[in-house]
């Protein structure tokens, strides 16, 4: 096999590997989205993990992350409202 053919083959393999990785990652993301939907409906986390193939620890980590982001947004909103209240002399007129 020539050097040109070897490089072409390596590029083809790398492209196929990258595509497979992208598909797998997208599938994992979708599984997590589905799992979160089931959690919102009140499904027990053990059942969600079994049905989606997402580990309980990964589900908990994802839920903690989403709660943390929500808390950050709530903190920003609270501070904004407090600043408006202070600068408006306590009147939202």
**Token pair 């072409």: residue:** 8
Q: Is residue 82 one of the residues assigned to a domain? A: yes
Q: Is residue 68 one of the residues assigned to a domain? A: yes
pLDDT of amino acid 74 = 92
Q: Is residue 93 one of the residues assigned to a domain? A: no
**Token pair 């929500």: residue:** 70
Q: Could you give the number of structural domains in the chain?
A: 1
Q: Is residue 92 one of the residues assigned to a domain? A: no
Q: Which domain holds residue 49?
A: 3-87
Q: Is residue 40 one of the residues assigned to a domain? A: yes
Sequential pLDDT tens for the chain (93 residues): 576 677 777 766 766 666 556 555 667 788 888 888 888 888 888 888 888 888 889 888 888 888 898 899 999 998 888 888 777 776 665
Q: Is residue 55 one of the residues assigned to a domain? A: yes
Identify whether the C-beta of residue 32 lies closer than 8 Å to the C-beta of residue 55: no
Q: Is residue 58 one of the residues assigned to a domain? A: yes
Question: Residue 46 is encoded by which pair of tokens?
Answer: 């053990």
Q: Measuring CA to CA, which residue among 75, 72, 49, 50 is closest to residue 61?
A: 49
Whole-model pTM?
0.51
């Amino acid at each position: 096999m020539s050097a040109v053919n070897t490089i072409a083959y390596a590029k083809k393999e790398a492209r196929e590997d990258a595509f497979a990785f992208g598909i797998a990652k997208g599938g994992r993301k979708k599984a997590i989205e589905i799992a979160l939907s089931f959690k919102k409906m009140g499904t027990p986390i053990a059942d969600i993990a079994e049905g989606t193939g997402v580990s309980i620890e990964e589900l908990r980590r994802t839920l903690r992350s989403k709660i943390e982001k929500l808390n950050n947004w709530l903190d920003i909103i609270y501070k904004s409202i407090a600043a408006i209240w202070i600068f408006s002399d306590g009147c939202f007129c």
